[in-house]
Amino acid sequence: MSESRDLVVVGAGPAGMAAAATALDGGLRVVLVDSGAAPGGQFWRHPALFARETLPTADLHHGLSTYRALCSTLSAHERTGRLTLLLNHHVWTTARDEDGFAVHAMDRGRAPEEEAVVLRAPALLVATGAYDRQLPFPGWDLPGVLTAGGLQSLLKGGGVVPGRRVVLGGTGPFLLPVAAALAARGAKVVAVCEAAAPSAWLRHPAALLRNPAKWAEGARYAGTLARHRVPVRTRTAIVGAEGEGRVAVVRTAALDTDGRPLPGTERRIEADTVGVGWGFVPQLDLLLPLGCGLGDAGDGTMAAAVDDGQRTTVPGLYAAGETCGVGGAALAVSEGRVAAVSVLTDLCAPGRPGTRRPAAERRAVARHRAFARAMAQAHPLPPAWPAWLTDDTPVCRCEEVTAGAVRSARADHSAADHRQVKQLTRAGMGWCQGRMCGPAVHCLVARGEPYAPAERLIATPVTLGALADSGESTSDHT
């Protein structure tokens, strides 16, 4: 199957939806492709249509009026045929071709069957979001230990509260909505362990004052936690989990300014569920094979480098949302709109309506990006977090590589980054391809340098049979 349009947008989260809607309103023919069963991405994740009445989740969402407006715009253009919306389509690679870009996907809407799809367009916009960043600790591989994002996905997508006694840990404001949602749905949130100190925000008053909606949102979460008597312990981290067959006890400790556990402060808390989140890592798999330049996101990760119009370093390639650095849904929507205006301007085909410079959206991008930078500085990774690890702590769970093996690769072989550790230990060669362990392995051997994922020509698992059925040669992609 081959589809040809003016623009392919990969990712139907806030950035992708906003970009597609703006491009369609500007007269372009657009393909919007996403691996999910409905538009919205992780931020606007909903239960399946048949379950939405019995599993109301509106209270878990922000910006629903924006979501509904975007859905209405996309539906209107889908009816006219200008929008091709491809859901349950997993994009596994992207490549340049003579006329622009070829986007290779697998249609998995009729599982277990799958069909190869090739989408071609002169312009490509990647809005694939981000995924949870994890720091390992002894016991993090026990059943019942989840990412904070995973907990929220269970709540939004299925109304699932995975445990009765929950401990959350990590750093960043994202812990608050997860804790509030769990508490509001009957879980006993025993503690929220925030590794940073609230006083760090006092060094960034301008970012707070320019974004009153952010701190007002935080105040609402704080009120919910107070009503449910959820303790929030700052300068504290989860440093271990114990249990037979499932987590049963969580160990927490107060931290010094570098993130080392303070002697005598360890607590043991009974819990059957743990949620951990240390920020997010931009999803760059589809950008790297195209040669897209990267820049330091300021939070220990690398992100797509874009200009003020969301253009990447590759002509015809645009990026928006968390691929450009994590900053929230409002930022993603504004970036999506700015990117779409750039596409309209750059294609400048006869007959297409003109677009005015989106000055207001650019100002919104600058304001939200400033807040994101302040957030990264107020909630950094604790520099001394490796002190939590014993040598037998699994770091790469897929390949069962321990912290001791990673440390040996650095000490005995001078491994300087996660790529070299992968060659020496197989860390990152498992099913997740380093998404779970890559940032942690990098921190263990290359402290102070931002993490950039390895380039992969295949971004999602694909069967050989599906590749053969595609009828497309991939030799020129290598």
In this prediction, residue 218 carries a pLDDT of: 83
Interhelix angle for 175-184 vs 148-158, to 10°? 40
Neighbours of 329 (CB within 10 A): 23
Contact 114, 310 (CB under 8 A): no
Beta bridge partners of 277: 170
DSSP designation for 311 = B
User: Residue 475 — very low, low, confident or very high, per pLDDT cuts 50/70/90?
Assistant: very low
Q: pLDDT per residue over 270-329, tens digit each?
A: 999 999 999 999 999 999 999 999 999 999 999 999 999 999 999 999 999 999 999 999
Q: Which H/E stretch holds residue 167?
A: strand 165-170
In this prediction, residue 474 carries a pLDDT of: 41
- Sign of torsion over alpha carbons 193, 196, 202, 207: negative
Name the 3-class secondary structure at 309. coil
Q: pLDDT per residue over 104-160, tens digit each?
A: 999 988 878 888 899 999 999 999 999 999 999 999 999 999 999 999 999 888 888
Question: Cα(426)–Cα(238) distance, rounded to whole angstroms?
Answer: 27
Which pairing describes strands 130-132 and 280-282: parallel, antiparallel, or unpaired?
A: antiparallel
In this prediction, residue 47 carries a pLDDT of: 72
Amino acid at 396: C
Burial 72-103 (b: 16+ CB within 10 A, else e): ebbeebeeeebbbbbbbbbbbbbbbeeebbbb
Question: Cα(328)–Cα(364) distance, rounded to whole angstroms?
Answer: 12
What is the phi/psi pair of residue 353, to 5°? -65, 145
Question: 86: closest CA among 39, 23, 150?
Answer: 39
Name the 3-class secondary structure at 380. coil
Amino acid at 473: S
Return the beta strands (E) in 5-156 as ranges: 7-10, 30-33, 83-86, 89-97, 100-107, 115-121, 123-126, 130-132, 145-147
Mean pLDDT of the region 387-416: 92
Structure tokens at 351: 């007959």
Contact 15, 34 (CB under 8 A): no
Beta bridge partners of 31: 8, 84
Pairwise pLDDT comparison (447 vs 432), residue with the higher score = 432
Half-sphere exposure of 117 (CA within 13 A, CB side): 23
Q: What proportion of the chain, given as a percentage, has pLDDT over 70?
A: 93
Give the best-scoring range by mean pLDDT among 97-101, 113-117, 182-186, 250-254.
Answer: 250-254
pLDDT of 31 over the 50 cut = yes
User: Residue 51 — very low, low, confident or very high, per pLDDT cuts 50/70/90?
Assistant: low
Q: pLDDT per residue over 406-436, tens digit each?
A: 999 988 888 888 889 999 999 989 888 888 9
How far, in Å, are 386, 412, 434 from residue 409 at the CA level?
15, 6, 17
pLDDT of 351 over the 50 cut = no
Mean pLDDT of the region 351-380: 81
User: Mean pLDDT across the chain, nearest whole number?
Assistant: 89
Q: Tell me the helix, strand and coil percentages in the chain, rounded to 5.
A: 35, 25, 40
Q: What angle do CA 105, 454, 365 make, to 5 degrees?
A: 75
Cα-Cα-Cα-Cα torsion 362, 365, 366, 368, nearest 10 degrees, comes to: 150
Per the omega criterion (within 30 degrees of 0), is the bond before 136 cis? Answer: no
In this prediction, residue 473 carries a pLDDT of: 43
In this prediction, residue 57 carries a pLDDT of: 67
Mean pLDDT of the region 348-356: 53
Mean pLDDT of the region 213-225: 85
Neighbours of 5 (CB within 10 A): 20
Question: Cα(209)–Cα(374) distance, rounded to whole angstroms?
Answer: 12
pLDDT of 172 over the 80 cut = yes
Amino acid at 90: H
How far, in Å, are 138, 149, 412, 414, 445 from residue 408 at the CA level?
18, 32, 5, 9, 10
In this prediction, residue 52 carries a pLDDT of: 64
Name the 3-class secondary structure at 207. helix
